[in-house]
Amino acid sequence: MVRFGLARTTAAVAATLALVATGSAPALATAAPAAADDAAVRTALQQVLAAGAPGASVVVSDHLHDHGRSKEARRSLAVGRADLNGTPMHADWRFRVGSNSKMFAAVLVMRLAEQGRIDLDKPLRDYLPQGMLPADWNITGRQVLEHRAGVYDHTDDLLEQPGEETTAAFEKRIRNNVYDPKDLVALSVKHGLQYPAGTKYSYSNTDFVLLGLAVEHLTGRPYAEVLREQILEPLKLRQTSFVVPEKKIAGAHVTGYLTNDDRTKPLLDSTEQTASWIWSAGAIISSAADLDRFLTHLLAGRSGGLVSDESLRQMTAVLPTPTAKVSYGLGIREIALSCGKVLGHGGIVQGYQTQSFATPDGRRTVVAFANASNNGAVTQALTNVLEPAFCGAAPKSLAKRNVPMAREDARF
């Protein structure tokens, strides 16, 4: 069982403790992993603040199965501020999850595949509106899910320059602009395929915009409706929503801050934005508790109610990426920690970043969060929270080692 004590530092610190027992969750493992390293988790969160985030939090959930009843033991720790007005960070408040949205899109696509409505090994253009992709683009749905299709990332055209989230670009092209997802694809298509499909890995947000459009085309319904009816409502994810192009985050939420490229300038409140520039690839709003519930049900396969055991096998059949110890499957990332591999995704969108991962058997889920972006030091520090949260006390040889961070996480 994970235990976090209260800590007092110069930054505001808030901690919550919850133990939930339910008989409705899928049957999981019989025992939780070894306890997290309390002091190391707390130190890791403080490093996130030192790197430039106003606040950070982590929620660690252990899922047990005892005498026919599924139970969840959840511990959370929040440090720093939820906003620059001094409000303490809250681990249970809502935030923008960024590319964690890709796991939700992948589930919707896998469900369509299970119904025989899409063949992942046939050209994706056959499942999109006619003419959206060139006739000679034979990229498959599977290659797109794996980021191995060679599709240019349209976001590189919207940001100030590839890989940056400058405040100027945000105000000019992101915060208030409303993009049609078809136009986002058109931005990508004009660049042509970047390499022969299937020959390498290259992360592209356009991949998951294409998948969202395929969901709409095959169902004849708006993406937000399909997402709500097939995932959010069945799992009772009441803090999760997809509201593009509405700019506000309803209910209690953390304020997000975009770090200026000129570090001498103040952080920019980037909470309100249409998120249409990223759409199905990154526009979901959620909470740590909801992300935990989603991941738990996803990794339970058929018994979790989201995808079949075979679909889960395919999603978690990962391939290497250019980053050592980081692999990617069908909308799911795998990171190798000192105690084993974890599955999930990272997510960065202006002002927010999240690392949501679980052990492959679903026994432990960790959701780490910070309310600052455009800062690689914050991203690395947040990723480092995973090691003590999953593995507990580390050998001295590992104590100061960075957790592998996907190259794209240095971007958004």
Other C-beta atoms lying within 10 Å of the C-beta of residue 340: 12
CA 109/CA 196 separation, integer angstroms? 23
- 76 catalytically annotated: no
CA 116/CA 77 separation, integer angstroms? 44
Q: Which among 61, 70, 76, 99 is annotated as catalytic?
A: 99
> Is omega for the bond preceding 245 within 30 degrees of 0, making it cis?
yes
Phi, psi of 118 (to 5 degrees): -145, 140
Report the first-to-last Cα separation within the chain, whole angstroms.
Answer: 33
Structure tokens, 184: 């986002």
CA distances from 279 to 6, 24, 46, 338, 379 (A): 38, 32, 32, 35, 22
Q: Write down the residue that tokens 């939780």 correspond to.
A: 32
- Per DSSP, 302 falls in state G
**For residues 125 and 118, is the Cβ–Cβ distance under 8 A?**
no
Residues annotated as catalytic are 99
